[in-house]
Each structure stands twice: as C-alpha cells, then as structure tokens.
Amino acid sequence: MRYFVYLSYDGTNYHGWQRQPNATSVQEQMEDVLQTVLRRKVNLVAAGRTDTGVHARLMVAHFDVEEPVDCQQLTFKFNCLLPPDIGVYTIVPVTDDAHARFSATSRTYHYHLYQRKDPFRRPYACRYYYELDFPRMNEAAARLMQHTDFGSFCKAGSDNKTNTCHLTHARWVEEDLQAWRFEITADRFLRNMVRAVVGTLLEVGKHRLTLEGLEDVVRAGNRSASGESMPACGLFLQDITYPDALFLSGKAPKIF
C-alpha cells in the first residue's frame, strides 16, 4: 500500500530534504523514524528537493508498505520521535500509482523580504537595504508568466531534461510595513529557480534592469544573465496540489 505524508519543517539546521552521506537532512530524520516504528527500512520519495536552509510549510512524500498502517497512530509517533523542527500534519492512503513528485499538479513557493530591522523575522526572511519599486517588480513578474523556458534561472550544472515550467501565479504581496513576500506557483520548478527569479526581480525594483532587459534575461537561457541567488532563509515551499482521484478517501486532505 502507498501513503502520502504531509509534513513541514524549519530548514535552518538541515542540508535540504535529500539524504546525504556527510550532512543531516530532513529525509534522513523522517526515514529513521519510519524504520524505528515499522521495524524495517522504508524509503520516502518527496515532491521535491529543497536546498540547504530552505523551509517547507508543506512538503509531501510517499512510502510503500505491505500491510496497512494506522495513519493517526503513525502521525502521533512521528511527532513524538521527530526533532522539534520537523512536524507531520497527516498521513493518508493513496492509489498505488500516486507519486509525490510526478503526480503533483502545482507547487507554490513564497519568498519573504523585509527592510526594517526586525529580530523576529530574521531567521525566516531576507533583510534588504535598498528602496524597491514593488509595482514595477509586479509588472516584471507578470511578464515572467508569459514565458515557459526558465533556463536563465536554473543553477549551473543541473541535469534537467527540460527547462520548461508553466507559471500560473507570480506576484509581490505586502505583508506588513516594509515587509513583503513573493508568491510564485507553477507545475514544476528548476533547481534554485525561485531564489534566482527573486534576485532578478530585485534588480528591476532597484531600476538597474528594465522590463525589456528582463525579457532579454529570460531569452538568454543562461544563468549568468540573471540576478543573484537570494539567501535560503527567506524561501518556503508553501503548498503542493494533487488530483482528488489519487486519494482513497476521494479527496485531497485540507491542511490549511
């Protein structure tokens, strides 16, 4: 049987989701608990691979077992045994062909930015010292949605088979006085793409890059043409969606 695990984590102390030989990862913590509880090795396949220091308000992973599990009890045991910076929302049974990564229909990331010194935002947002033209940055974000090739925003050396992504939402939203978040939704994302997109939009916001110049950056298809990669602390994997038909209950769980 196959199950989806809905979880969240503070990525500060982890070298991303994926298990690594010489560094602590979220996958390692999750799989170790599964092995302890189920008394056998179980592999988790996640919807994506967040980088070092990136957070997830919502991540989804799947695992297979031969016998049914008590989802409520397993969720409880996860939350008892996991460290405080990882939490499991729920575990739900899905069809055998449901895949945490390939069955996802959309993913949403948020990038948090603040300009006024705020010690409570510091671990989960990036402080920026320049004055920024957010209406202009939203014009630029709208132009990004007209494109599908995002090779200019992909980390060099990545082994993607394609750089095609279909954006359905991209916008800066004011959260508070001198605090903003960038929301972006697509069917898939390239490695380091969101942080590179944000860094490029900030160049637009500083009036160092024109809207036409942004178009040239996208068309270049080269990472060196785009802006800097922003710090990981401000980035959250915010949401992932799946078709209701994948869930044995007939409906995807409501987390938020």
DSSP state of 231: P
Please identify which of the residues 51, 149, 159, 216 carries the catalytic annotation.
51
The one-letter amino acid at 84: P
The one-letter amino acid at 164: T
User: Other C-beta atoms within 10 Å of 178: how many?
Assistant: 15
Count the alpha carbons within 13 Å of 102 in the hemisphere toward its beta carbon: 3
Please name the residue that has the structure tokens 């014009």.
139
Q: H or E element: which one contains 81?
A: helix 71-81
How far apart CA 56 and CA 67 sit, in angstroms, is 29
Q: Residue 51 catalytic?
A: yes
How far apart CA 239 and CA 168 sit, in angstroms, is 14
CA distances, 183 to each of 68, 100, 170, 207 (Å): 38, 22, 6, 21
Tell me which residues are annotated as active site: 51
